[in-house]
Amino acid sequence: LLWIRQGRLPPPPDAVVWPGSEEEVQAVIRLCRARRIAVIPFGAGSGVCGGTVAVKGGIALDMKRLEAVGTVDPQRRCVDVQAGVLGEVLERSLNAQGWTLGHFPSSIYMSTLGGWLAARSAGQLSSRYGKIEDMVLSVRAVSGAGELLVTPERPFRGPDLAQLLVGSEGTLCAFTGARLRVHPAPEARALRGYRFNRVSEGVEAIRVLMRAGLRPAVVRLYDPFDTALVARSRPHPSPTPPSMRGTWKSDTVPFLLRQISRHALSRPILLNRAAGALRRCLLVTMFEGEGARTRKEDEQARILCTQRGAVDLGEEPGLHWLKERYSVSYKMSKLVDSGALADTMEVAATWDKVMDVYERVRAAAASIAFVLCHFSHAYPEGCSLYFSFALSDVSEQAQERRYDALWRTALSAARSAGATVSHHHGVGLLKSAALREELGEGVVLLDRLKRALDPDGIMNPSKLWAVP
Amino acid sequence: LLWIRQGRLPPPPDAVVWPGSEEEVQAVIRLCRARRIAVIPFGAGSGVCGGTVAVKGGIALDMKRLEAVGTVDPQRRCVDVQAGVLGEVLERSLNAQGWTLGHFPSSIYMSTLGGWLAARSAGQLSSRYGKIEDMVLSVRAVSGAGELLVTPERPFRGPDLAQLLVGSEGTLCAFTGARLRVHPAPEARALRGYRFNRVSEGVEAIRVLMRAGLRPAVVRLYDPFDTALVARSRPHPSPTPPSMRGTWKSDTVPFLLRQISRHALSRPILLNRAAGALRRCLLVTMFEGEGARTRKEDEQARILCTQRGAVDLGEEPGLHWLKERYSVSYKMSKLVDSGALADTMEVAATWDKVMDVYERVRAAAASIAFVLCHFSHAYPEGCSLYFSFALSDVSEQAQERRYDALWRTALSAARSAGATVSHHHGVGLLKSAALREELGEGVVLLDRLKRALDPDGIMNPSKLWAVP
């Protein structure tokens, strides 16, 4: 976005190719292999880590013509889908048949199945339905050697080849399709918001909830300032729900929000300090599925949360979240249009490290950018931390330098507190050096796999673990 | 067992080596690589598919000295364990710390973590706790190239290297340890037996139960004759529980059981026909975990089963199953001592194929062996079918021929009905040709991975997919 504002372009591919069949994907890759041309598999380009930047030129293999969605097999509860279909088109097509994939990334209008598979995508309901890798029964892909790979379904025996390919971000193969697990449309849904007096109490509540064996579709905690933004986001002229108004009326949030000018963002330390004085934060939970169990799990979660000092805000904050769940990502470009910069950084950590990652990233980035965070995609072992940054500076050049410094500082702080570099945005170019560091000697094994599947090194060069 | 009875031995290794550290494992494998000597990783030798037979001689790498069990990290709920520890020792050590792995294969007294990882082992409570691959946060292994591989924990990004190594049955690496997910000892347990009037109704009940999102620790259906054997198994002189007596009193089972002599087994078609006249079969369910939810799930399962015509037999059949759960496997050798032969064959299929696999295997094997079956390890998509065979013949040679014919016929029938060759016993030697057939062109990819991880082809030759 910064470059576009400056009229610059990331390195473009030499050509864009739209294959219409698996055979055409194979033909393109074989040709590229014979001529040593780089191949960059391309879905809808919503990635935020530079995973499809053509650093060595080559061919962008745009998969959008491979968009067939099969008929759901109701007995087996699965469906065959081609890799180029857009998420929202896929979900609507399944809904029309009475089913859901349960995968709702905020990019759903502009990301494809192939991209999800490449980057191990997580939807907003991942705590119940899993990440895309948990929804996959088998995958179809063309390797860098030009072979069609069809992994065995539910591999109870032998190496799990689907899980070897999923997450490879175009460096080993181009996905052409997958067999996906589907679910009947949920019978019931229970939404609820809670107010906690400290981030740490909210994080502890999520941990306890997951450890109790509950399976919320959504369990999402906003830190105090992110909470304020969420509560205020209302593109529709409906009034803020009364319960939320009640929550924040004594806070200084509206004042603070008015202060987020470009000028304020260039001196974020003050903003961060002010935000640090806020305490109250919002937890949103959603349970869905069979009616009776949904109500029971919601009730059990309510007991666990209120035992930990939470105030039950009823369903309105949940309904509000549900209504606005795709709109947040679109606001970032508005901020950029205004001349400032915004970005997000998601990492993941085990419960013993979550608060430390949160505090250290905030501290490290405090003088560079204004920092927000929410905690989501929870597991029995830990959760994802999703940081949002806003920054500004006197010139475009200074802003770019600040942006680069932010990434270096924030990611390094997260890593040194024990976080893994990415949970669901992928690694791409942006985090490849950090992943290489995190993997240590494991890089040797990846290099070997690369040579096994992409012997001439044509697939998406320089990505993921900075593939040589 | 047949060979041992005949005084024959499977091909022995040239040497047995007991490494005491990862470094020693590396040193052995490097030496073997330099001299092109085969390496066969060895746990406790309980495998039933010939996975550790030294077909090309070489070194048996016995891992039992690597038996350290770490301290459970209660905050992260995980533990580091070395590969050579026996299952029961591991579980007892975790229990002493207040935790459980939740992994209870019937081989638990004579199988190791390394063997579980190699073969993708499933315990009897897998429907709740998962198979061993679901319990693994990361693995440590030495590749055929002599490198120590430590896979990243919870790989949210990149290829999943742990899942590439798990299931490789010694053909890519030797496992040295793993970080495993643990669970608190269950607060409550609910056991129950049901009587169904047909196998198909019982299978349908399991499907409905899994589809309703219930998470039974055990859900296990015995076909009519297996039911009769389960009901009668009582090495302790306690009387058969009254509810079970009531269930079978009008059946011809006791009569049939008395007839299973070697002579009868040599003409199994009659036995199979008689067993085919039996209808009633036993489903055992067990829920465990937090008290209130355990009771609720048990109650919901009871409603779903009785709606489908089941008779609720109360908890006694469940208690009986629990008490005898490890004893079945030991009975096989008694039958073998008597001069007959017994074996088991486990496969897995999706729900649409389960009954067809059951019927076709029974029909195909009917004239060769007496056939029993139970259905267990259920998933939303399908379950495992576990066949037991008993056979006899006039001479040892004829018995061996019959045994080979049984395997060819039964496995081919299962495969042609759409089953996958193995769910949790592994593939080894016995099923490698069938796996090769099942994988089709996928073999090419496995061959490449083999070359990447074991460049000189020393690791457990001729196993899994008949590695060249």
The answer, yes or no, to whether residue A332 has pLDDT greater than 80, is: no
What per-residue confidence (pLDDT) applies to B120? 97
Interface of B with A in 197-216 (CB under 8 A): 211-213
Give the whole-angstrom CA distance, residue B219 versus residue A420.
Answer: 37
Q: Do B167 and A151 touch (CB under 8 A)?
A: no
B43 touches chain A (CB under 8 A): no
Q: Which residues of A touch B299 (CB under 8 A)?
A: none
What per-residue confidence (pLDDT) applies to A234? 46
What per-residue confidence (pLDDT) applies to B375? 97
Considering only CB atoms, B435 lies closest to which of A75, A158, A420, namely A158
The amino acid occupying position B119 is A
Most B CBs within 10 Å, among A156, A357, A411, to test the B interface: A156
Chain A nearest CA to B172, separation (Å): 10
Considering only CB atoms, A350 lies closest to which of B76, B426, B446, namely B76
Q: Which residues of B touch A119 (CB under 8 A)?
A: 157
B448 touches chain A (CB under 8 A): yes
The rounded mean pLDDT for chain B is 90
Q: Could you tell me the CA-to-CA distances from A153 to B15, B268, B350, B418, B420 in Å, in that order? A: 38, 35, 10, 11, 9
Q: Do B422 and A212 touch (CB under 8 A)?
A: no
Most A CBs within 10 Å, among B131, B157, B300, to test the A interface: B157
Residue A186, phi-psi category: left (phi > 0), alpha (psi -120 to 50), beta (remainder): beta
Residue B179: strand, helix, or coil: strand
Question: In what side-by-side order are the strands of the sheet with B218-222?
Answer: B311-314, B188-196, B281-289, B218-222, B370-376, B382-391, B341-350
Chain B nearest CA to A229, separation (Å): 28
Give the whole-angstrom CA distance, residue A76 versus residue A91.
Answer: 18
Q: Could you tell me the CA-to-CA distances from A440 to A414, A433, A436, A452 in Å, in that order? A: 17, 11, 6, 20
Q: Which two tokens stand for residue A60?
A: 């962008």
Chain B nearest CA to A132, separation (Å): 11
pLDDT band at B327 (very low <50, low <70, confident <90, very high): confident
Q: Which residues of B touch A292 (CB under 8 A)?
A: 300
Give the whole-angstrom CA distance, residue A158 versus residue A173.
Answer: 20
Question: In what side-by-side order are the strands of the sheet with B59-62?
Answer: B15-17, B59-62, B39-42
The answer, yes or no, to whether residue B68 has pLDDT greater than 90, is: yes
A245 touches chain B (CB under 8 A): no
Most A CBs within 10 Å, among B187, B345, B425, B445, to test the A interface: B445
Q: Which residues of A touch B448 (CB under 8 A)?
A: 452-453
What per-residue confidence (pLDDT) applies to A246? 35
Write out the H or E segment, with its range, that includes residue A401: helix A396-416
Considering only CB atoms, B422 lies closest to which of A157, A423, A439, namely A157
Torsion of CA A136, A139, A143, A146, to 10 degrees: -160
Give the residue on A whose Cα is nearest the Cα of B452: A448
Question: What number is the average pLDDT over the span B21-48?
Answer: 97
Q: Could you tell me the CA-to-CA distances from B253 to A134, A435, B277, B278, B342 in Å, in that order? A: 44, 63, 11, 8, 20
The answer, yes or no, to whether residue A150 has pLDDT greater than 70, is: yes
What per-residue confidence (pLDDT) applies to A450? 95
Highest mean pLDDT out of B38-47, B208-217, B289-298? B38-47
The answer, yes or no, to whether residue A241 has pLDDT greater than 80, is: no
Give the residue on B whose Cα is nearest the Cα of A466: B158
Q: What angle, rounded to 10 degrees, do the helices at A199-211 and A291-307 form?
A: 140
The answer, yes or no, to whether residue A243 has pLDDT greater than 50, is: no
B305 and B201 Cβ atoms separated by less than 8 Å: no
Considering only CB atoms, B120 lies closest to which of A156, A163, A438, namely A156
pLDDT band at A232 (very low <50, low <70, confident <90, very high): low
Q: Which residues of B touch A169 (CB under 8 A)?
A: 158
What per-residue confidence (pLDDT) applies to B230? 66
Q: Encode pLDDT of A359-379 as tens digits.
A: 999 999 999 999 999 999 999
pLDDT band at A293 (very low <50, low <70, confident <90, very high): confident
- Residues facing residue B196 across a β-bridge: B281
Chains A, B: CB contacts within 8 A come to: 201
Considering only CB atoms, A293 lies closest to which of B165, B213, B452, namely B213
What per-residue confidence (pLDDT) applies to A230? 66
Considering only CB atoms, B426 lies closest to which of A157, A435, A442, namely A157
Q: Which two tokens stand for residue B133?
A: 């691959």
B423 touches chain A (CB under 8 A): yes
The amino acid occupying position B60 is A
The answer, yes or no, to whether residue A331 has pLDDT greater than 80, is: no
The answer, yes or no, to whether residue B216 has pLDDT greater than 60, is: yes
The answer, yes or no, to whether residue A236 has pLDDT greater than 50, is: no
Q: Which residues of B touch A464 (CB under 8 A)?
A: 158
A187 touches chain B (CB under 8 A): no
Q: How would DSSP label each residue in B435-453?
A: HHHHHTTHHHHHHHHHHHH
What per-residue confidence (pLDDT) applies to B259? 53
Highest mean pLDDT out of A209-213, B251-255, B440-444? A209-213
Considering only CB atoms, B452 lies closest to which of A76, A300, A448, namely A448
B17, B14, B104: which is closest to B66 by C-alpha? B17
Q: Which residues of A touch B156 (CB under 8 A)?
A: 120, 131, 348, 384, 420, 422-424
Q: Do A422 and B157 touch (CB under 8 A)?
A: yes
Give the residue on A whose Cα is nearest the Cα of B150: A442
B296 touches chain A (CB under 8 A): yes
Q: Encode pLDDT of A177-206 as tens digits.
A: 999 999 999 999 999 999 999 999 999 999
Q: Could you tell me the CA-to-CA distances from A29 to A68, A146, A169, A468, B237 in Å, in that order? A: 21, 6, 16, 19, 70
Predicted TM-score (pTM) of the model is 0.91
Give the whole-angstrom CA distance, residue B257 versus residue B234.
Answer: 14
Radius of gyration of chain A (CA): 22
Most B CBs within 10 Å, among A154, A157, A168, to test the B interface: A157
